[in-house]
Copies of this chain bind each other. A is one copy, B any other.
Amino acid sequence: MYDLLISGGHLLTMQGEGVGFVEDGAVAIDGRKIVAVGPRTTVEANDRARQAIDATNRLVMPGLIDAHVHSAATIARGLAQEVETWMGSAYGPLIRHASEDDAHLWTTLALMEGIANGTTTFGDYEYPMERLVQVHAGIGNRAVVCQGVTEVDWSQRERWIDEGWRPGEPAPLDPAVGERELAGALAVFDRWHNHDDGRINVLLGPIAADMVSESLLLRCQAEARQRATLIHLHVAQDPRENTATLRRAGLRSIPYLDSIGLLAPETIAVHLSTATEDEVRLVAAKSGRMACCSNSIGIIDGVVPPARLFRDAGGSVALGSDQAAGNNSHNVFAEMRATAMFAKIAAGSPLPLPAWQVLRMATIDGARVLGIDDRVGSLEEGKDADLILLDLTRPPLAPVVMRPARNLVPNLVYAETGANVRLTLIAGRIIYRDGVFANVDRDAIMAEVASAVTRFEDAADADPAVTSLPIVELTRSGKI
């Protein structure tokens, strides 16, 4: 007897090379695993079920994968726009007023947003991670986390300036800091990797080539290999990174990373914003894993990340919502639409990155990039039951046309906002249904959020250094 039978909806299984469409299908679940998937009549004939979910007029598909998220940045949501250099002129000066004690609240908000919009897996890149991974574990979503590893001690910034360093230049590295941080990241790995039968996995996350020395990059790689896990690394994310590696080795960031062997199959390359076409092809060939954050990079830099080229060069592309300061949401539907649209605009043609390719990035390809495609990313016997149900009776998914052509997938990618997500199931458990989270006391969280926002406002507002920021000036002049 099945534990749970979801039947009567259309399926996008994402099996095979396309989207694996099944009309009037069913998914049967035992414990956390999918044990049957296919046409409803076939699955129903196999066995009965303890619990049933009627998916008539619903689309059933794998949960979405948000492969690159800085979940605790939600306190600065919408505060890093309309500036030339977002980190120096907006995000940096503000975020230092966010207390570490409140970070779990921002992560909770980010996860609530993602889950309500169909995300089941978060590739969370944060620091420190211990309390935040508890949030992932408690809410019930899947997560592939890492605690960032850096050798830069930003608390020394004023001293560097006294010594001649200029903002925007590569920051001085401190090997002692790196050692301490790597130890902390490994401790997170030891405590959390493979938690709840792999619902939580841990990667190693050296931040980027300009903030981690060659020896520490290689240490991270060795430690990752020893643990059979992956490296989550920002690659070619800004000009400063190239400046640093040119100074260090006379090479731009990507050729430098290649020269030391870091462009290897265990490396997830995030962003590739400044990469040349040849560099994109090199990363696709050597690592094959890219996390693409279209809305974030679009807002912050005005740049189209090279998702299309990376895919064409044979790599797997995952989508990521990055951070709420500049994006400003954790919504994979928004990432799908942007990724498809940006590719068309960049090419001046309606043809690049059709809907089905982008939908694969948000599901099975995203799982591949995070190294969990043996477990999730498609509706398939033996995989964990991470899936979502969407209401097909409401725009922009309605009207559903089936013949002579189906409009489901284009509408999902080019139009759906996430508002039609009705149910989110992770590892066989319902963690969100019709606006209600199984494991979050929403009212209690929002009350805590309100207090924490006030703490942030009080701290930031008292800092004379922020009064001249462009976004503060926009506020004063009534533009925002």
**Residues of chain A having any CB pair with chain B under 8 Å:** 16-21, 74-79, 81-84, 86, 94, 106, 109-110, 112-113, 116, 295, 298-304, 324, 327-331, 333-334, 337-338, 341-342, 344-352, 354-356, 393, 395-396, 398-411, 414-415, 417-419, 446, 449, 452-453, 456-458, 460-461, 463, 466-467, 469, 471-472, 474-475, 477-480
Contacts and interface: CB of A to CB of B under 8 A. Distances in A.
Given A113-B395, A477-B18, A479-B356, A461 B404 contact: yes
A24 to B, nearest CB: 15
A407 B461 contact: no
A395 B329 contact: yes
Q: A-B pairs with the 8 shortest C-beta distances?
A: A78-B407, A113-B395, A417-B417, A18-B478, A78-B410, A329-B415, A419-B419, A328-B415
Given A299-B341, A302-B345, A399 B331 contact: no
A354 to B, nearest CB: 4
For A331, A355, A456, A469, the residue with the greatest tally of chain B CB atoms inside 10 Å of its CB is A355
A404 B338 CA distance: 30
Protomer copies: 2
Contacts of A457: 401-404
Given A113-B396, A355-B480, A419-B419, A350 B302 contact: yes
A299 B350 contact: yes
22 contacts: A19-B479, A77-B399, A78-B401, A78-B410, A79-B405, A86-B350, A110-B395, A116-B395, A299-B350, A299-B414, A302-B345, A328-B407, A330-B395, A355-B480, A393-B446, A403-B460, A404-B461, A404-B463, A405-B466, A405-B475, A405-B480, A418-B419
A404 B350 contact: no
A337 B469 CA distance: 23
B112 A300 contact: no
A331 B396 contact: yes
A478 B15 CA distance: 10
Contacts of A16: 478
Contacts of A351: 82-84, 302
A396 B349 contact: no
A344 B418 CA distance: 24
A350 B83 contact: yes
A86 B331 CA distance: 28
